[in-house]
Amino acid sequence: MNADKGPLREYTGLIWIDDQPGIRLRILARSLDEATASVIEEHGDGHVISIWNEEDASRAR
């Protein structure tokens, strides 16, 4: 693991492809950008994607 990129964290989310029901996602990545890039690489660009990390989502803003 490259220390300057941070630890792997679990991101969860949904992707909607065309008219299909949302597909649930679970991705291990070092950042939200890395998780999003991974989903786009696997499913292609141009879809509606919603990804979050539960730790970040539960933190006070």
The residue with greater pLDDT, 39 or 1, is: 39
pTM for the complete prediction?
0.79
Instruction: Give the SS3 label for residue 37.
Output: helix
Specify the number of domains making up the chain.
Answer: 1
Average pLDDT over residues 6-35: 94
Q: How far is residue 35 from each of residues 1, 24, 27, 47, measured CA to CA in Å? A: 16, 14, 6, 15
H-only helix segments in the chain = 32-43, 54-58
- Give the residue numbers spanning the domain of 21: 3-58
- List, for residues 24-41, the tens digit of each pLDDT value: 999 999 999 999 999 999
The two tokens of residue 58 are 């539960």
